[in-house]
Structures are given as structure tokens and as C-alpha cells.
Amino acid sequence: MQLERKRCRDGAGRVCRQILQKHSYMPLACLHIQSSLKASHIESPCSLQHLRYRLTSTNSAEQSEASFPLGSPKADSSEAITSSPVVHKKSADVDYLKLGKVTHSFLDMGFSPSQITDLFSLQPRLPPQIRLSVVSELLLLGLNTDSLLKALQKKPELLKMPANRLRDRADLLRKLGIQEEGLNHVAVHFPSIFTLPQKKIEALEHLLREKCLFTVEQVSKILQTCPDMLLEELSDVEYKFQFAYFRMGVKQREILNSGFFQASLTEIKNRVIFLERLGLYQTPDKKGQTLIVNPKLKGIIRASENDFVTRIACSTMEEYEIFKKLLVREEEQNWEKEEAMKIELLDLENDDEASDTE
């Protein structure tokens, strides 16, 4: 009988050693999320085993810095934490009790366990209270948990923004006419806008009002329908406007109503120059008159490529494709000529300076 008990103990010892060797550590966040779920008695399709796997896979880079030994189910969590020298080293940086409370807060906000896992995998070194304040501020914009998580996955740097600065960016966008639905759209599709410096946003507003001569209402509508303009270079926005205003002879009202800023400038140029070469478009003179009736800008921009070629340009797709390739080559040659002229001018200036010194 004693011999059989000894064999059982030896066999159990080997199994335990194999388990500990295979699963030596797991992220700390998992421990607190698990304990929070048990304390809250929340039922979820995401099991604790699945949650442990998700956290381990998403935080593999941090595994060696924030982990604890996996012991028996009855082991005291505080003993497990202090027994790891790596965790003991990081104990000054993380308040484990606060992490558990923050996890409860995320659950109260409506996040599922799997969403919390994904959320903690973003910027894993970030203190939990800062993470909570940023998430709370984004929820106040009207985002649901799914949309908020998508925004943070696109731009994890948002989690490092101070909550008051995030609030200021939202207030500035509201002043420009981007209201709640628009803010949601910006947060989900263009979260980088919230990280822009305030001067960059104000500079674009000044450009549209002072140089492009749009009214306050028109600027508001432009930014509502095309918020990603805030991410473009100011020189590109100005050049795009000048192409419509001077080259095409189109005024502000038609530019706005056509959805001009939502379209690619490359595609607009291809279509307009193609029509010009076919004699179907003419830049108006100083009085706004032309010898032919130009197609409306809205029709040129919003038509599908096939409709544009067959219905507006009365041509074929083959001709249009050949034209686009030739136009690219033509623009490259023009750019090379301009660069050569710049070099010649610099050489002449250097020669003049050298002669003056002599």
C-alpha cells in the first residue's frame, strides 16, 4: 500500500512539473480580470481559459516583465505574485489592487471580457487609471464599446493623450461644425485627427476662410463631409482649390455642392484634362464665359469611370487608359524640366556671387 501511494505521488509530481514548465507565467492583467469576473458573478461566452490564452498571446512581448507563476487553484494570489522575482521588480510600477478596481469599471461600462483583453493588449505599459480616463472620455463622445475599441486599435496613441486634451480636441471640432454623429465618424475612421495639434486644425480653417474665401457655414459643411482634410498638408489643400477655381473656373458654391474635396485630385485632373484634349471642356474667361457648354463639375466627379468615359467624354475605356499613362509620363518630364531650370538658376546665382566677391 505504501509503495502504491509513493508511485502516485511521484506520478503527480511529474505531471505538475510538466505543467509548470509548459505554462510558467501568464500576464498579471489576466489574474485581475479573472478575479473581477468571479467577484462580479458575470456570465460570459469567453471562458477564463480562453481569456488566459488571449492575454498570453497578445502580451507575449510583455510576458517576461509582468507575470506570475501558475499554481494550484487554491493558492493565494498575493503569494504567487511576490514569489516571482520579475513581478517583485515591477511591483513598484503597478498597483495591483487598483488594477482590479479598474477592471470592474470597464465591466460596468459595458465591455465584455474579450474586449477588456483586447483593450489591455494596447499600450500594455500604460497605467490603468490613465487608460480608464481616456476610455471614459471617448465614451462621452457617444461611441459604443465596439467602435471605441476599433478606434484605439487604429490609433493606440490615443490612450497616451491626456483626457483634458482629448476633450479640447472634441470641443474644437464641435466649434467647426462637426457634431456628435460626425465626432463618432471621425473617432472610428480618422482617430488621428484627435492627436493633431490645435494650430494645425486652426490653420486649415484659416486657409479655407481667408485664402479660399469660403464662408463659415461652407467651411463647416466641408469639414462635416470631408473630415480627413484635416490630415492633409495645407499646401495640397490650397493647390486642390486653386485647380478648381483657376483652372476649371468653378466658384465656391459649386465646389462645395459637387463634393470636390471628397474626390481624389489625381482622378479629377485626369478627367478634366481628358475632356480638354477632346475639346469638351474649356476654362472660362475673366467674364466666366466659354465657347462651349462645359459639363457640370458634379457630373464629372460623381460619375463612375465607365459612365464618365462613355457618357460624358463619349470615348472608350482603352483610349482613357492610354491617355492616363501618357499624362503621367508628360508630368514626369515637366517635373524634370522644372528641376533642371532650378539647378541652372542656382548655378547662375552662385556665379554672380563669386564674381561679386572677386
DSSP structure string for 289-358? --SS-PPPHHHHHHS-HHHIIIIIS---HHHHHHHHHHHHHHHHHHHHHHHHHHHHHHHHHHHHHHHHH-
Which of residues 43 and 179 earns the better pLDDT score?
Answer: 179
pTM above 0.85, yes or no: no
**CA–CA distance, 234 with 196 (Å, rounded to integer):** 13
Quote the Cα angle for 209-215-217, to 5°: 120
Q: What is the arithmetic mean of pLDDT over 324-353?
A: 87
17 has pLDDT over 60: no
Does residue 116 contact residue 107 with C-beta atoms inside 8 Å? yes
Element (H, E) at 67: strand 67-69
Residue 238 exposed, middle or buried by CB count within 10 Å (0-12, 13-18, 19+): middle
Read off the pLDDT of residues 112-170 as tens digits, 9 standing for 90 and up: 989 998 999 999 999 888 999 999 999 998 889 999 999 999 999 999 999 999 999 99
Query: Quick one: what percent of the chain has pLDDT higher than 70?
Result: 70
- Of the listed ranges 55-59, 208-212, 271-275, the one predicted with least confidence: 55-59
Residue 62 grid cell:
510583455
> What would the pLDDT profile of 199-222 be if each residue is shown by its tens digit?
999 999 999 999 999 999 999 999
Written as one string, the DSSP assignment of 1-58 is: -HHHHHHHHHHHHHHHHHHHHHS-EEEHHHHHHHHHHHHHT---SS-HHHHHHHHHHH
**pLDDT value, residue 356:** 63
Which grid cell is 210?
A: 481667408
CA separation, residue 295 to residues 83, 312, 313 (Å)? 77, 8, 10
What is residue 99's predicted lDDT score, i.e. its pLDDT? 57
> Which residues lie closer than 8 Å to 277 by C-beta, 6 or more apart?
323
Per-residue pLDDT for 27 more than 70? Answer: no
CB 242 within 8 A of CB 220: no
At residue 100, what is the residue type? Answer: G
Lowest-pLDDT range of 18-27, 100-109, 237-246: 18-27
**What sign results for the dihedral spanned by CA atoms 164, 166, 171, 172?**
positive
Distance (Å, whole) CA 204 – CA 229 = 8
| DSSP H/E element including 106 | helix 96-109
What mean pLDDT comes out for the span 226-234? Answer: 95
Q: Is the pLDDT of residue 48 over 70?
A: no
Q: Check residue 9 and give its pLDDT.
A: 53
**What local confidence, expressed as pLDDT, does residue 358 receive?**
62
What are the distances in angstroms from CA 4 to CA 11, 14, 184, 247, 256?
Answer: 11, 15, 67, 95, 87
Cell of 284: 472660362
In this structure, are residues 124 and 62 in contact, taking their beta carbons and an 8 Å threshold? yes
Please write the tens of the pLDDT for every residue from 291-336.
Answer: 999 999 999 999 999 999 999 999 999 999 999 999 999 999 999 9
Per-residue pLDDT, 168: 93
Per the document, the length of the chain is 358
Q: Is the pLDDT of residue 102 over 80?
A: no
Residue 83 has pLDDT above 60, yes or no: no
User: Under a CB-based contact definition with an 8 Å cutoff, are residues 25 and 70 in contact?
Assistant: yes
Q: What is the pLDDT of residue 95?
A: 43
Higher pLDDT, residue 208 or 347 = 208
What is the predicted pLDDT for the residue at 87?
41
Alpha-carbon distance of 124 to 33, in angstroms, equals 14
For the chain, what is the mean pLDDT? 78
pLDDT at position 189 over 50? yes
Task: Out of 19-23, 131-135, 157-161, 281-285, pick the least confident.
Answer: 19-23
Domain boundaries in the chain?
18-121, 136-195
Residues facing 27 on adjacent strands = 67
**In the predicted model, is pLDDT for residue 16 greater than 80?**
no
Q: Which residue has the higher pLDDT, 349 or 345?
A: 345
Kindly state the average pLDDT of the residues 62-82: 36
Q: Which amino acid is at 147?
A: S
Q: Are the CB atoms for 138 and 151 separated by under 8 Å? A: yes
